[in-house]
Amino acid sequence: MIPRVILALVVLALSGCASIAHQRLRDFIQHGRENNEAWLTAHTRLHALCAIDEAVKRTCAPRLVKQTNRATIDDWEWETMPPYRTIVAVHEDELRKIHRPKPYEEYVFGAARYLGEQADREQITTAQMRHAFTETWTWMIAEVRIEAWLLVDDIRVAQATDARTAQALNAVASGLAIVLSAALVAGAIASANTPQAVAPAALPTPTSCQVRPGWRSATGGLSSVYVTCW
């Protein structure tokens, strides 16, 4: 029979672990809510730039953009928006005002910056851009679900060493590079097979991508993500 005092201590310890786990899960949910708020704020700000800012207004044009931060891929619509590089920059700015992005969110921003720049320079078609970003978004949603399961399953997952963290992030980078490479090729095929009023100019299709995480020299944390395709 377990002494009452020991039993009480065990219950107290378990309660403490549960409390920590629940708080981390609440923080995870709050992070998602704040992401939604940042997305809406960014969308409103982008509309305002095209309506008010004379310098930006001259660059605004109909562009295919994702409408929400939801875990869906069929919410793209044409809207009068600034260049894609500006769209990504505003979304990133609004999110960073609220909190530090999670590692997989940094990877999505890295991919979005690259795709936006290539689309603005007409190095890839809008169809390629959408297809590649959609694949990246789908990949991120899978990462979010994995994190949610890990939070529920074991609070010790976050206690990995810096070396293991770096190794994991580099592995994630390689996985995302494969996703982007395949998505750009598939997007080009889809674009070529889609009837259009005006045939788009033939563009070279990148077939290989590299995703490289950047590190903060002081803290060793993830600072940014750089994407190149060729």
**pLDDT at res. 194:** 56
pLDDT band at 21; cut points 50, 70, 90: low
| Extents of the domains making up the chain | 20-190+204-229
- Checking if the pLDDT of 215 tops 60, the result is no
Mean pLDDT for 32-52 is 92
Q: How far apart are CA 139 and CA 141, in angstroms?
A: 6
- Checking if the pLDDT of 199 tops 70, the result is no
| pLDDT tens digits, 72-97 | 888 899 999 999 999 999 999 999 99
- Count the residues in the chain: 230
| pLDDT tens digits, 109-160 | 888 999 999 999 999 899 999 999 988 888 888 887 777 666 655 544 444 4
